[in-house]
Amino acid sequence: MSTVDLASVSVRDLNSRLHALPPGTNERHWRIVNPKGEHAIAAGLTLPLEVEIEGHTGYYCAGMNKAATVIINGHAGQGVAENIMSGEVRVKGNASQSAAASGQGGLVVIEGDASARCGISMKGVDIVVGGSVGHMSAFMAQSGHLVVCGDAGPSLGDSIYEAILYVQGKVESLGADCIEKEMTPAHAKTLRDLLARAGIKADPKRFRRYGSARKLYNFHVDHADAY
Amino acid sequence: MRTRKPAPKAKKRSGRAAKPKSRMGSRAKAIKAVTPAALRANLVSAGDARGKPPAFDTRALRPSHSFPQHVLAEIHRAADQGLYEIRGFGAKRKLPTFDDLVLLGASVSRYPLEGYREKCGTNVVLGTRFAKKPIELKIPVTIAGMSFGALGANAKEAIGRAATMMGTSTTTGDGGMTEEERKSSKTLVYQVLPSRYGLNPDDLRRADAIEVVVGQGAKPGGGGMLLGLKITERVAKMRNLPVGIDQRSASRHPDWTGPDDLTIKIRELREITDWEKPIYVKVGATRTRFDVALAVKAGADVVVVDGMQGGTAATQDVFIEHAGIPTLPAVRMAVEALQELDMHRKVQLIVSGGIRSGADVAKALAMGADAVAIGSAAMVALGCNKPVYIDDYHALGTEPGFCHHCHTGKCPVGVTTQLPELQARLDPEQGARWLRNYLSVMVLEAQTLARACGKSHVHNLEPDDLAALTVEAAAMAGVPLAGTNWIPGR
Ligand SMILES: Cc1cc2nc3c(=O)[nH]c(=O)nc-3n(C[C@H](O)[C@H](O)[C@H](O)COP(=O)(O)O)c2cc1C
Ligand code: SF4
């Protein structure tokens, strides 16, 4: 295990060390202390490393992550795991807005609450939130899954495409073209698997499923007032 | 005698009423007959110097300035379809342009360079501010971002090849990077757009520069659009969308808003790419002075300013024609912002929107731009609006020279289409040759003008070499009206 202290090492030096590791490296475990809300910590990783961050991170921690597992033992700032491709990013505390924005793959777990626009523009990522999510979450969500064990704020899934949303608590309001859908046994199984992968205990039976009504997929004059 | 000519007409009319079957046909004929020539003929034939004015006096046909033909047609179309007009190509309205400026060649007070003997450099280096690997282009004309999806694969490939042969860069677009374009383009700029379709850190790393798109001149404040027919399986897969939907992309980035966030976003992109790549910020021309200053403050290496006449593959007409400011004032405002920050030439300025010739290039550079980008003109070089396959233009309801139907996905010349049979009309090799020739001509023209102004490099052109032909252009470009030293507003 290599430990990097961001009180004395810059984020630039940390990231360039992480990026310079050769595939198949033995230096797979990294511990980062004193993150102090710095931005872009462990952004752009490409190898199956395990990076643990002891404290709170600023914007875009683990941005565009590929293959690595990044664990934040604290809260995460805006755009944590934005555009994640694969691997896993876990926030033990809460996450600020736009968590996992446009994520294309991988798993993002937020054990606490997520703020507004969680999963905005998501394109294949799986997101599991132990607490609640703020307004406009899963806005224009294209594919992947968003699991919310708490409540969802206003306009959940506005202009959603093919992403699937599961919410256990109450949904303040659904956005344009987002509707409740039947929870089939297959969906229940997907949800159970997601919760298991995230290591979050919840009863799949208590969730409801939401997705696209697909009414806004093509322009039509009679849907103009949906916006 | 007075009634002899109109008589058969009346007969025809009654005949039409009697035969309802042919009604549409004869009505269509009647409508077709109202051409200016037919009207003049009618006037002459019906004229009688001593009698009553003719029943149908064409001189009394007074067109409305508020409701000209195209406005009437648009209202009829809107009433029929209930949807705003979506179309391609740039603004069609008359705007002040570089045509309203002239270059002051050398004579006694300054001497020119020999046209064929003395060198006139054209190279430009972009990204000198922060990037570890700035890019050097041989010519100051780059190819603007046009998405795969909007353009077919052959067009993309032709553009990549031509740009590579000319030593300039080409740019991805709203839809990600294709293998073909990476392979065919030596210098490829990778766009990071609000939609983030196909955004991939591996592509960021294999790009030569990164362009954060905040806006486009054709639709400042609006998101991308791609209508159903163009969302083929391949395009849908790259964008992670259902096949055949009318795609409307976001107009704001999903994880940042405003200049402070942008600063952090740019830093993240630099971190991901280890500070190697130049990072551009592209804005549609609106509040250009502020936008450029904020982009510089946010850490951009290069600012791209796209004027309102900038092309598009699909945008609401109301946006194309009514939002943003022309390229001409935008260049001036951008240069002023850079100068104010002492960043002119340190942060490079690329200007686009309505660049068509070496004259446009020379004038943009003289105003202080480091390079220009072309979109529409490159498409035209590839055959856009060429008078070939005329029936297919007609099928779209247009004519060569008027086409703006990129949004339909049925481009008659195979440029902006995903349909294989139409794409086959553009051979990438032939297209590359056309575009390369055209780019060469542009550069030769710019050099010719620069030499005539006595410049050994196109970047030595300066505002002093310009005069304006109209008061508007003088005010917008900040260049004196020809024959005066008057710049309105100064
Ligand atoms: C077919 C087409 C597709 C375009 N796609 C994009 C795009 O994906 N992203 C972007 O930033 N601009 C796009 N643009 C705008 C160009 O990048 C550029 O700003 C514009 O074409 C410049 O003006 P010009 O067409 O007058 O040269 C597109 C333009 C055209 C004509
Ligand atoms: S010819 Fe093709 S590229 Fe040109 S305007 Fe028409 S559809 Fe668009």
Instruction: Quick: pLDDT tens for B361-399.
Output: 999 999 999 999 999 999 999 999 999 999 999 999 999
* pLDDT of res. B418: 94
The fold of the A2-226 domain, in CATH, is: Pectate Lyase C-like (2.160.20)
Window from B237-241, B268-272, B300-304, B324-328 with minimum mean pLDDT: B237-241
Scanning A114-173 for CB atoms below 8 A from B yields 117, 120-121, 123-124, 139-140, 142-143, 161-162
User: Mean of the pLDDT values across residues B40-63?
Assistant: 72
Ligand 1 centre to CA of A1 (Å) is 49
* pLDDT of res. B4: 44
CB of B379 closer than 6 angstroms to any ligand 2 atom: yes
A52 touches chain B (CB under 8 A): no
Report chain B's mean pLDDT, rounded to a whole number: 91
- pLDDT at residue B12 is higher than 80: no
Closest atom of ligand 2 relative to the B405 alpha carbon: 7
- pLDDT at residue A7 is higher than 80: yes
- pLDDT at residue B3 is higher than 60: no
Cβ contacts of B272 on chain A, cutoff 8 Å: 40, 43-44, 63-64
Which of A40, A63, A142 comes nearest B240 by C-beta? A142
CB of B172 closer than 6 angstroms to any ligand 1 atom: no
Say if the Cβ atoms of A79 and B255 lie within 8 Å.
yes
- pLDDT at residue A10 is higher than 90: yes
Alpha carbon of A126: minimum distance to chain B alpha carbons (Å): 15
Closest atom of ligand 1 relative to the B307 alpha carbon: 23
CB of B425 closer than 6 angstroms to any ligand 2 atom: no
A13 touches chain B (CB under 8 A): no
- pLDDT at residue B36 is higher than 70: no
Closest atom of ligand 1 relative to the B374 alpha carbon: 27
pLDDT tens for B407-436 read 999 999 999 999 999 999 999 999 999 999
Cα(A172)–Cα(A165) distance, integer angstroms:
14
pLDDT tens for A150-159 read 999 999 999 9
Mutate to test the pocket of ligand 1, among B312, B331, B382 (most ligand atoms within 8 A of CB): B312
* pLDDT of res. B41: 58
* pLDDT of res. B478: 97
- pLDDT at residue B42 is higher than 80: no
Q: Which residue has the higher pLDDT, A227 or B334?
A: B334
Alpha carbon of B299: minimum distance to chain A alpha carbons (Å): 15
Alpha carbon of A173: minimum distance to chain B alpha carbons (Å): 20
Say if the Cβ atoms of A60 and B245 lie within 8 Å.
no
Three-state secondary structure string covering chain B? CCCCCHHHHHHHHHHHHHCHHHHHHHHHHHHHHCCHHHHHHHHHHHCCCCCCCCCCCHHHCCCCCCCCHHHHHHHHHHHHHCCCCEECCCCCCCCCCHHHEEECCCCCCCCCCCCCCCCCECCEEECCCCCCCCEEECCCEEECECCECCECHHHHHHHHHHHHHHCCEEECCCCCCCHHHHHHCCEEEEEECCCCCCCCHHHHHHCCEEEEECCCCCCCCCCCEECHHHCCHHHHHHHCCCCCCCEECCCCCCCCCHHHHHHHHHHHHHHHCCCCCCEEEEEECCCHHHHHHHHHHCCCCEEEEECCCCCCCCEEHHHHHHCCCCHHHHHHHHHHHHHHCCCECCEEEEEECCCCCHHHHHHHHHCCCCEEEECHHHHHHCCCCCCCCHHHHHHCCCCCCCCCCHHHCECCCCCCECCHHHHCCCCHHHHHHHHHHHHHHHHHHHHHHHHHCCCCEHHHCCHHHEEECCHHHHHHHCCCECCCCCCCCC
A75 touches chain B (CB under 8 A): no
Cβ contacts of B240 on chain A, cutoff 8 Å: 104, 123-124, 142-143
CATH tag, B98-477: 3.20.20.70
pLDDT tens for A15-55 read 999 999 999 999 999 999 999 999 999 999 999 999 999 99
CB of B147 closer than 6 angstroms to any ligand 1 atom: yes
Which of A98, A101, A143 comes nearest B240 by C-beta? A143
* pLDDT of res. B158: 96
CB of B89 closer than 6 angstroms to any ligand 2 atom: yes
Alpha carbon of B196: minimum distance to chain A alpha carbons (Å): 7
Say if the Cβ atoms of A59 and B81 lie within 8 Å.
no
* pLDDT of res. A22: 97
Percent of chain B with pLDDT over 70: 90
Which of A64, A97, A98 comes nearest B201 by C-beta? A64
- pLDDT at residue A132 is higher than 50: yes
Read off the pTM: 0.92
At A189, which helix (H) or strand (E)?
A: helix A185-198
pLDDT tens for B109-156 read 889 998 878 999 999 999 999 999 999 999 999 999 999 999 999 999
Question: What residue segments make up the domains of chain B, in order of their start?
Answer: 26-63, 98-477
CB B375 within 8 A of CB B311: yes
B390: number of Cβ within 10 Å: 12
Chain B residues at the A interface, defined by Cβ less than 8 Å, are 81-83, 195-197, 199-202, 204, 227-228, 240-242, 244-246, 250, 254-256, 261, 264-265, 267-268, 271-275
Say if the Cβ atoms of B241 and A142 lie within 8 Å.
yes
CB of B150 closer than 6 angstroms to any ligand 1 atom: yes
CB of B412 closer than 6 angstroms to any ligand 2 atom: yes
Minimum Cα–Cα distance from A212: chain B residue? B242
Q: Report residue B104 as tokens.
A: 């002051």
Say if the Cβ atoms of A121 and B265 lie within 8 Å.
no
- Please give the ipTM for the structure prediction: 0.97
Percent of chain B with pLDDT over 90: 82
- Position B57 confidence tier, pLDDT thresholds 50, 70, 90: confident
- Position B8 confidence tier, pLDDT thresholds 50, 70, 90: very low
**Protein residue with its CA nearest to atom 5 in ligand 1:** B146
* pLDDT of res. B357: 98
Say if the Cβ atoms of B201 and A102 lie within 8 Å.
no
* Residues with Cβ within 8 Å of residue B302, at least 6 apart in sequence: B126, B127, B209, B278, B279, B280, B281, B347, B348, B349, B350
- pLDDT at residue B202 is higher than 50: yes
Closest atom of ligand 1 relative to the B406 alpha carbon: 1
Ligand 1 centre to CA of B211 (Å) is 13
